[in-house]
Amino acid sequence: MPMNRDDSASHEAVTASGEQTAPAATSGPSVKIRARDINVFYGEKQALFDVAIDIPEKAVTSFIGPSGCGKSTFLRCMNRMNDTIPICRVTGAIEMDGEDVNDRSIDPVVLRARVGMVFQKPNPFPKSIYENVAYGPRIHGLATGKEELDAIVESSLRRAGLWDEVSDRLLQPGTGLSGGQQQRLVIARAIAVGPEVILMDEPCSALDPIATAKIEELIDELREQFCIVIVTHSMAQAARVSQRTAFFHMGRLVESGPTDEIFTNPRDSRTQDYITGRFG
């Protein structure tokens, strides 16, 4: 059972008037993504209000909150997937290693190779398992020959814990796998391009408990190498898997901090109400 260690001591909360205290400098693992003043509009409707958060690297951060509170929207800001929605407008700065990814001069294609994404419903390409994993490295030119590509595919599938199950049927369609295997295939596909951050939008909500347990094990192994951000509806999962947790409510980031503090000693009453099940 992994221990939810967290070296950073910061625990931010939003005051009753809606302002957020600026995150204090952390002393643990360094910050990978630093978001400030994020406001997101869908046309006239505002979905996120002044969100600011620090996401540490080599750790799992989970976003929790009731439906429609904006956690998936914020997640998608981090790899600019909101660009595909024409009426969506994002203001503010999201800095990764010093560069603002929201800046229009950054090419989202390059960004998405550094920030991978796993979606709620497993969506492997309707191609072979090999092709699924090899597509990303191929278009980014990460392999200079078939042997290198084969090596990348194998290592990605191993890291995703799928190699033993599919090594003998790499050319069969990815859509023929079970739900849990498909999600691991999607994770392998995301890892194959060598990202620094992996975003997961409710990755286990479409899976059965056994598959969910396997994915959570995988996430725990991956956090040694990657910065992982996971949106989840299940507070139990957040408690099991993440080191830091952020609670969103009605488009605002209410509270964020070490996971065990959020769950045992939340500072905001809204967080308390959500965790104890009064709403959401």
Partner 1 sequence: MTDLPIPTTTASDRARDIRAAVESRLKTRHASERRFKLYGQLAIAIALSFLVVLLGRIVTQGASTFVVHSISVQVPLDPAKIDRTALEGVNYDIMVADAVLAKLGEKDDDYGTKSDAIKDLMSPDFGFQLLNMIKADSSLIGKTVTVSGPLRANADLYFKGEIKRSSPEEERTLSNQQLDWLDALKSSGAVTTGFNFGFFTKSDSTEPEQAGVLGAVVGSAMMLLVTAFLAVPIGVMAAVYLEEFAPKNNWTDVIEVNINNLAAVPSIVYGLLGLGLFINTLGVPRSSPLLGGLVLALMALPTVIIATRSSLKAVPPSIREAALGVGASRTQAVFHHVLPLSMPGVMTGSILALAHALGETAPLLMIGMVSFVPGVPHGFDQAATVLPVQVFIWENASERAFHERTAAAIMVLLVFMILMNAVAIVVRRRFERRW
Position among 56, 116, 203, 257 found at the interface with partner 1 (CB under 8 A): 116
| Least distance from partner 1 to the Cβ atom of residue 199, Å | 9
Position among 117, 177, 218, 227 found at the interface with partner 1 (CB under 8 A): 117
Interaction between residue 109 and partner 1 (CB under 8 A): yes
| Least distance from partner 1 to the Cβ atom of residue 198, Å | 11
**Interaction with partner 1 in 119-138: which residues (CB under 8 A)?**
119, 121, 123-126, 135-136
Interaction between residue 33 and partner 1 (CB under 8 A): no
Cβ nearer to partner 1, comparing 116 with 251 = 116
How far are the Cα atoms of 14, 156, 228 from residue 179, in angstroms, in the given order? 38, 18, 21
| Interface segment toward partner 1; rule CB under 8 A; list 31-39, 56-64, 116-124, 223-231 | 116-124
Cβ nearer to partner 1, comparing 31 with 40 = 40
What mask of x and - would describe binding to partner 1 in positions 136 to 165, judged by CB under 8 A?
Answer: x--xx-------------------------
Position among 35, 52, 96, 113 found at the interface with partner 1 (CB under 8 A): 113
Name the residues that contact partner 1, by CB under 8 A: 79, 81, 84, 86, 109-110, 112-113, 116-117, 119, 121, 123-126, 135-136, 139-140, 175, 186, 189-190, 193
